[in-house]
Structure 1
Amino acid sequence: MDRIPVTREGFQRFRDELDRLKRVERPAVILEIKEARSHGDLSENAEYHAAREKQGIIEAKIRDIENNLASSEIIDCPPGPKTRVIFGSTVKLEDLDTDEVKTYRIVGPFEADINKGLISVTSPIARALIGKGLDDDIVVEAPGKTKEYEILEIS
């Protein structure tokens, strides 16, 4: 099985979420099911069915996180100045068409969240960035258009 790269911080976030689901969410939904059962006829008990559905969602999340953790490999960024973009780098870019400045951190696929500036190492922009240096220009092929950026900062 191929190992999926993950940052140390991302791995810890997954472990914390798994712990929360197992210690807080799972016991709480079990109590909800127990309470709903005490209301009688389960065939017409909306509370019971809602609690069972919630339990299924929680158990699916637990399985997903456990699978992600099992297939993950923690990749640490080497200390010191960053001269090239690597996995785990934070990169400040300028869109050469709009002069808009964006900052992204390159992380594993399970950690990616564009709303938080976390992009997957497998994304088109990350693939274009890996190995590039300060002041380099990159070209990103996006659906329907080509974007060009300049690397302003690497950390």
Structure 2
Amino acid sequence: MNGKHQLTPEGLEKYKKELEYLIKNERPRIIESLKEARAQGDLSENADYDNARDEQARVENRIKELENIIKNAEIIAMDKSSTSNLGKTVVLEYEDKTTDTFTIVGSLESDPLAGKISNESPLGSAILNHKLGDRVLVKTDTGNEFYVVIKEIN
């Protein structure tokens, strides 16, 4: 994937909002916590200070991670093709005639419980670049196999 993070426009916006929140809210709050903890005196046995430093490290690491994601974001082009590819929402029918609806996204946005599957997951990679009506064999990491039929592509 050449170091790029494939994101939907919505996914990129979500990361930008999280970054903004951390910089404008969490970072100043933690700095204030550190000031208050320092005012308590001896830092060698100051649990409040240690906790604030740990939280500061966690937040700063997340800020760096988000900056990297945003800097290396590759926005998924929303095309009008009739194939199932990144950014498309598909309705799949299983062999027992039940259906599921998924949006195919990059791995960073993957959230199966919210109906977003990664293009790198067994199901996501199996249905990529297929057309409406295609019957697709899905092979799971555990060795199971099943078929799905692509009923809709939006």
The reply to whether TM is greater than 0.5 is yes
CA shift for structure 1 position 88: 0.2
Secondary structure class of the residue paired with 2:150: strand
Deviation at 1:111, TM superposition (A): 1.2
Q: CA deviation at 1:130?
A: 1.4
Q: Using the alignment, how far apart are the partners of 1:94 and 1:70 within structure 2?
A: 38
After TM superposition, give the deviation of residue 5 of structure 1 in Å.
Answer: 1.7
Shift of 1:78: 2.2
Q: Aligned letter for 1:95?
A: Y
Cα deviation digits, residues 113-147 of structure 1 (max 9, x gap): 12211111222211111111112111111023112
Number of aligned positions between the proteins: 152
Q: Which amino acid is 1:46 matched to?
A: A
Contact preservation (8 Å) 1:3, 1:71: yes
Residues 42-61 of structure 1 aligned to structure 2 (within 5 Å): 42-61=43-62
Instruction: Write the distance in 2 (CA, Å) between the matches of 1:125 and 1:144.
Output: 13
Contact 1:87–1:121 (8 Å) recurs in 2: yes
| Offset, 1:2 | 3.8
Match of 2:29 in 1: 28
Aligned positions of 1:140-155 closer than 5 A: 140-142=138-140, 143-155=142-154
**TM-score of the superposition, structure 2-length normalised?**
0.91
Contact 1:68 1:110 in 2 (8 A): no
Q: Which runs of 5+ in 1 are unaligned?
A: none
Please give the per-residue CA displacement for 1:26-48, whole angstroms capped at 9, x wherever unaligned.
Answer: 11111111111111111111111
SS at 1:10 equivalent: helix
- Aligned with 1:99: secondary structure? coil
CA distance in 2 between partners of 1:90 and 1:12 (Å): 19
Aligned to 2:124: 126
**Alpha-carbon shift at residue 8 of structure 1 (Å):** 0.8
Report sequence identity in percent. 37
| 1:76 CA drift (Å) | 2.4
Instruction: Give the ranges of 4+ consecutive aligned residues of structure 1 lying more than 4 Å apart after TM superposition.
Output: none
For residues 129 and 143 of structure 2, the distance between their equivalents in structure 1, rounded to whole angstroms, comes to 25
Task: Give ranges in structure 2 of 5+ residues lacking alignment.
Answer: none
Amino acid at match of 1:148: Y
TM-score (normalised: structure 1): 0.90
Structure 1 residue 101 displacement after superposition:
1.8
The DSSP-based 3-state class of the residue aligned with 1:60 is: helix
